[in-house]
Amino acid sequence: MKKTQVRLADGRELIYYDSRDDAVRDAADERPLDRTSTASEARFDPLLGEWIVVASHRQGRTYLPPADECPLCPSRDGRHSEIPAPDYEVAVFENRFPSLTGGPGPQTGEPPFVRAPGAGRCEVVCFTSDHDKSFADLTEDQARLVLDAWTDRTAELNALPGVEQVFCFENRGKEIGVTLGHPHGQIYAYPFTTPRTDRMLRSVREHKAAGGGNLFDELVAAELAAGDRVVMDTGHWTAFVPHAAHWPYEVHLYPKRRVPDLVALSDEARAEFGAVYLELLRRFDRIFGPDEPPTPYIAAWHQAPVRAPERPDFALHLELFTIRRTSGKLKFLAGSESAMDVFINDVPPEQAAARLREVASR
């Protein structure tokens, strides 16, 4: 993999990832851009014990532009985009409208009104220069290059001052809330451990204190032993619908050897990732039949926080899920889910797993 780092006209960093060592990425950003102005802060909720981010400058971000004005396509035919090169394989750049930005700063205010700078970093990951493709259309080699980019960014962002957790994810589909149709994902470097991860760590800690082993390992082993929710089981990866799935169709993908983050993945798991992940995404697109539009989904990498004491006990995994519950119908987060965090799932996990096995590639 070749990595080329350049600067955009407003000073933001852009990184090209190429499979060929002879790739040249020296096109300059010719847009007359001013420096990006952001206003982001974190506020602490003392009742829930978690931080939320206020980022009012994001109200003006680009929203569903026509394909010929896509800011994630290469710069061609006199049209300048976020990516100056006329073509690329994988490109990562600092978000022009970041939720988190800048270095760490002190907390201010007195309880219960504690706040802190919205420090961190937000990046956009373009999976391919082809506007009309999706991740599922990539080759195994292309998927591996994206994995290598995620891994490299995780290592770099983990090392930034004040960063506590790195989150790589993809939102796909207008139903999810995607505002740019080009195949892409994002990376957030948070200045705190996210609430969901904090709950996982607490469960791991309490299980161990009660005399149990590693909770992640035990859950994966139990799913494999039960078998009825297993979707794929390969040499280096296991994918299953969890016993208590929140979403209509939800798959958790774990490497066979527990590691805390993408950086620690084995070479063997990396080599097999493309085939496994592409097969899962293609199955998702076949769940509801050939006449349905592509399945909207969120794909979320859960990685260990940088400095958590439980970091060695955390298990890297990807959670892939859709809000489409049946043909033409979405699962909305209404009163129980949004107000009480109690999910009501319309599809039994065993039924979802059976369907995902049924639509396997032949």
- Residues β-bridged to residue 297: 172
CA dihedral 267, 197, 188, 342 (to 10 degrees): 120
What span, in angstroms and rounded, lies between the C-alpha atoms of 304 and 265? 13
| Domain extents in the chain | 2-192, 196-358
Give the H/E segment covering residue 136. Answer: none
Backbone angles phi and psi of 255, in degrees to 5: -70, 150
C-alpha angle 167/168/170, rounded to 5°? 130
- Residue 241 CA to residue 261 CA, distance in Å, equals 21
Rounded Cα distance, 253 and 231, in Å: 9
- Calculate the alpha carbon distances from 161 to 100, 114, 247, 360 in Å: 14, 21, 35, 44
CA distance 283 to 297: 12
Question: Residue 328: how many CB atoms within 10 A of its CB?
Answer: 9
- Residue 240 dihedral angles phi and psi, to the nearest 5°: -150, 155
Q: Which of 57, 80, 184, 302 is catalytic?
A: 184
Q: 168 by DSSP, 3-state: which?
A: strand
Check: CB of residue 76 under 8 Å from CB of residue 85: no
H or E segment at 299? strand 297-302
Spatial separation of the C-alpha atoms in residues 97 and 292, rounded to whole Å? 33
Rounded to whole angstroms, how far apart are CA atoms 17 and 91? 6
Query: Would you say 144 and 270 are in contact if contact means Cβ atoms under 8 Å apart?
Result: yes
* 208: β partners: none
Encode pLDDT of 27-58 as tens digits. Answer: 999 999 988 777 799 999 999 999 999 987 67
DSSP 134: -
* Model pLDDT for residues 156-207, shown as the tens digit of each residue: 999 999 999 999 999 999 999 999 999 999 999 999 999 999 999 999 999 9
Q: State pLDDT tens for residues 259-315.
A: 999 999 999 999 999 999 999 999 999 999 998 999 999 999 999 999 999 999 999
Tens digit of each residue's pLDDT (9 = 90 or more) over 125-168: 999 999 999 999 999 999 999 999 999 999 999 999 999 999 99
Confidence of residue 362 (pLDDT cuts 50, 70, 90): confident
Assign 61 a pLDDT band (cuts: 50, 70, 90): low
The DSSP secondary structure of 229-253, one letter per residue, reads TEEEE-SSEEEE--TT-SSSEEEEE
Local structure of residue 176 (DSSP, 8 states): G
What are the backbone angles phi and psi of residue 125, rounded to the nearest 5°? -115, 110
Is residue 73 a known part of a binding site? yes
Residues 215-263 have pLDDT tens digits of 999 999 999 999 999 999 999 999 999 999 999 999 999 999 999 999 9
pLDDT confidence band for 59 (50 / 70 / 90): low
Contact 267, 147 (CB under 8 A): no
Query: Is domain 196-358 classified as CATH 3.30.428.10?
Result: yes
117, β-bridge pairs:
41
Does the pLDDT of residue 63 top 70, yes or no? no
- Whether 131 has a binding-site annotation, put simply, is yes
How many CA atoms are closer than 13 Å to the CA of 57, on its beta-carbon side?
A: 14
184 tagged catalytic: yes
Superfamily of domain 2-192: HIT-like (3.30.428.10)
- pTM assigned to the model: 0.96
Of 47, 162, 191, the residue nearest 111 (C-alpha):
47
Q: Which tokens belong to 32?
A: 């007359």
Q: What is the pLDDT of residue 67?
A: 80
Whether 2-192 shares its CATH topology with 196-358 is answered yes
pLDDT tens-digit series, residues 65-99: 888 899 999 999 889 999 999 999 999 999 999 99
Q: What 3-state class would DSSP assign to 75?
A: coil
